[in-house]
C-alpha cells in the first residue's frame, strides 16, 4: 500500500459542523478533515457512524481549510442515524479513496441523477476553475427531490443547468437521459460525465457510444474496506473502490455486469432494478 493510501486509510475522528435539509430525504452534512483537502471530484470517503456502521459517501465539496461536505440520502439504518446527528457530534472518517474524473478543457456535459449530482457538483466547480463552463442536466423523480439546483446554477450559470423530473413537476418531463439525448441534438460536447442510478448510467453510456463521445461515469457497489482488499465491490475485472469509482467508456464496455448485475452484502449476484 502506498504511504498516501496508508495515511488516508487511518480512521480520524471529526465533529459535525452543520447539517442542513436539502430535500425531504437528503441532508448536506459538513465536517472538517485535513486529509480531504486534497480530494478530487469523484473520490469518496468512508464515514463511520459510531455504534451503527461505516458507509461510502461521495465528496460534494471541500475547501482549503478542510471543510468537507457530503449529501446523504436517507435509505436505511446508517443514513437515518447520520441524519439525526447534530453539530458537535463525533463521526469517523477514512479516505479520500478511489480515482477521480478527468479534468478536460473542452465543452463538458454533466448528467446527474439523485445523489449522483453530488460528485458532479464538485466536478463542475473544478471545471469552472479551469475556465470551462459546464452544462448540467440534473434528474430526479419529482421537483422535491431535485438536489442542489441553486448551487449548480451559481457554478454553471442558470442558463447552463437543465432539470428533468420523471413526473414533470419541474423542467423537462422524463428521464435525465432523454433530456441528454435532446440536448445532444442541438449542441456538441467534447466529453460527457455521469453519475446516478446504474440504469441511467447504462443509457448515458449507450448514447455517448452512438455519438462517439468520450464518457466517464462513477459507479456504486457495496464497499467495506475501500482499499481493494475485501472484494465486495468487484465488477468484472475491476474493484470499484480501487480502480474506480470513475470508469471510462471502454472500461464500462468491457464489463458485462454494468447496468445489469450487482452483488448483495453476501456477495451474491442480484439484478439491478
Ligand atoms: C462510491 C460510493 C459513493 C456513494 N455516495 C453517496 C452519496 O454521496 N450520497 C448518498 O446518499 N449515498 C451515497 N452512496 C450510497 C450509500 O453508501 C448508501 O446509501 C448507504 O451505505 C446506505 O446505508 P444504510 O445503512 O442507510 O442503508 P442500508 O439499508 O444498509 O442499505 C440500503 C442500500 O444502500 C446500499 N449500501 C448499503 N451499504 C453500503 C455500502 N457499505 N457500500 C455501498 N452501498 C451500500 C445498498 O444498495 C443497500 O441496498 C455511495 C455509495 C458508493 C459505493
Ligand atoms: S471495498 Fe473492499 S475491495 Fe473494494
Is there a single domain that holds both residue 117 and residue 91? no
Q: Tell which of 62, 97, 132 closes a domain.
A: 97
- Average pLDDT (252-270) is 88
Is 143 in the same domain as 258?
A: yes
223 vs 261, residue with greater confidence: 223
**57 lies in the same domain as 115:** no
* Ligand 2 center to 99 CA (angstroms): 14
The answer, yes or no, to whether residue 68 has pLDDT greater than 90, is: yes
User: Is residue 34 in contact with ligand 1, taking CB distance under 6 Å?
Assistant: no
Confirm whether 147 is domain-assigned.
yes
Asked if 65 and 180 sit in the same domain, the reply is no
pLDDT band at 2 (very low <50, low <70, confident <90, very high): confident
Judgement on whether residues 91 and 23 belong to the same structural domain of the protein: yes
Residue 171: which CATH number? 3.40.50.80
Task: Give the three cell numbers for residue 253.
Answer: 464496455
Give 163-181 as a 3 state SS string. EEECCCCCCEECCHHHHHH
128 and 41 in a single domain? The answer is no
Verify that 171 and 43 share a domain, yes or no. no
Average pLDDT over residues 52-66: 96
**Per-residue pLDDT for 153 more than 90?**
yes
Residue 1 has pLDDT above 80, yes or no: no
Give me the pLDDT at residue 262, please: 87
In a domain, 64, yes or no: yes
Asked if residue 132 and residue 243 are part of one domain, the reply reads yes
Q: Is the Cβ atom of 238 under 6 angstroms away from ligand 2?
A: no
Q: So what's the pLDDT on residue 6? A: 84
Phi, psi of 111 (to 5 degrees): -125, 110
Instruction: Indicate if 53 and 183 belong to the same structural domain.
Output: no
The total of structural domains in the chain comes to 2
pLDDT digits (tens, 9 = 90+) for 13-55: 999 999 999 999 999 999 999 999 999 999 999 999 999 999 9
Task: Report the atom number in ligand 1 closest to the C-alpha of 26.
Answer: 11
Confidence of residue 95 (pLDDT cuts 50, 70, 90): very high
**Helical axes 198-210 vs 176-186, angle rounded to 10°:** 20
Q: What is the number of other CB atoms lying within 10 angstroms of the CB of residue 130?
A: 10
Q: How confident is the model at residue 232 (pLDDT cuts 50, 70, 90)?
A: very high
Which of 97, 131, 152 terminates a domain? The answer is: 97
Regarding whether 93 and 113 lie in a shared domain, the answer is no
197 Cα to the center of ligand 2, angstroms = 20
Residue 219 Cβ contacting ligand 2 at under 6 Å: no
Residue 222 to residues 39, 171, 172, 236, 265, Cα–Cα distance (Å): 21, 33, 32, 14, 7
Rounded mean pLDDT of 231-254? 96
Mark which of 97, 118, 153 sits at the end of a domain.
97
Q: Are residues 157 and 62 in the same domain?
A: no
Per-residue pLDDT of 179-201, as tens digits, reads: 999 999 989 999 999 999 999 99
User: Which of the listed residues 56, 57, 224 should we mutate to test ligand 2's pocket, taking the one with most ligand atoms within 8 A of CB?
Assistant: 224
Q: Is residue 102 part of a domain?
A: no
pLDDT attached to residue 97: 97
Three-state DSSP at 83 gives helix
CA 204 – CA 212 distance, rounded (Å): 12
Q: Look at residue 30 in the predicted model and tell me its pLDDT.
A: 98
Q: How confident is the model at residue 264 (pLDDT cuts 50, 70, 90)?
A: confident
pLDDT reported for residue 4? 75
Pair 98, 122: CB distance under 8 Å: no
The residue range of the domain holding 37 is 3-97
Grid cell, residue 250, equals 471502454
Q: Identify whether 87 is part of a domain.
A: yes
pLDDT of residue 133: 80
Q: Is the model more confident about 257 or about 246?
A: 246
CA-nearest residue, atom 4 of ligand 1: 57
Decide whether any atom of ligand 2 lies within 6 Å of the 241 Cβ: yes
Considering the domain architecture, whether residues 267 and 166 belong to the same structural domain is answered as yes
Distance from residue 79's CA to the centre of ligand 1 (Å): 8
Amino acid at each position: 500500500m502506498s504511504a498516501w493510501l496508508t495515511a488516508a486509510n487511518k480512521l480520524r475522528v471529526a465533529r459535525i459542523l452543520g447539517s442542513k435539509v436539502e430535500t425531504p430525504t437528503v441532508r448536506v452534512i459538513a465536517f472538517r478533515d485535513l486529509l480531504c483537502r486534497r480530494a478530487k471530484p469523484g473520490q469518496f470517503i468512508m464515514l463511520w457512524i459510531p455504534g451503527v456502521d461505516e458507509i461510502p459517501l461521495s465528496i460534494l465539496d471541500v475547501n482549503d481549510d478542510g471543510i468537507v461536505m457530503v449529501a446523504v440520502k436517507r435509505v436505511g439504518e446508517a443514513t437515518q442515524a447520520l441524519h439525526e446527528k447534530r453539530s458537535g457530534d463525533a463521526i469517523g472518517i477514512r479516505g479520500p479513496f478511489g480515482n477521480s474524473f478527468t479534468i478536460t478543457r473542452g465543452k463538458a456535459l454533466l448528467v446527474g441523477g439523485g445523489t449522483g449530482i453530488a460528485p458532479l457538483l464538485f466536478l463542475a466547480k473544478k471545471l469552472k476553475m479551469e475556465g470551462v463552463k459546464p452544462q448540467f442536466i440534473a434528474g430526479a423523480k419529482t421537483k422535491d427531490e431535485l438536489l442542489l439546483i441553486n448551487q449548480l446554477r451559481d457554478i454553471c450559470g442558470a442558463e447552463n443547468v437543465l432539470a428533468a423530473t420523471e413526473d414533470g413537476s419541474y423542467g423537462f418531463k422524463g428521464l435525465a437521459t432523454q433530456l441528454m439525448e435532446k440536448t445532444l441534438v442541438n449542441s456538441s460536447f467534447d466529453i460527457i460525465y455521469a453519475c446516478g442510478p446504474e440504469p441511467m448510467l447504462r443509457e448515458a453510456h449507450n448514447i455517448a457510444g452512438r455519438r462517439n463521445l468520450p464518457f466517464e461515469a462513477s459507479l456504486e457497489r457495496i464497499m467495506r474496506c475501500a482499499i481493494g482488499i475485501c472484494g465486495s465491490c468487484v465488477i468484472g475485472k475491476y474493484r470499484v473502490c480501487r480502480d474506480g469509482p470513475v470508469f471510462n467508456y471502454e472500461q464500462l464496455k468491457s464489463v458485462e455486469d454494468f447496468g445489469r448485475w450487482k452483488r448483495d452484502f453476501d456477495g451474491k449476484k442480484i439484478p439491478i432494478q
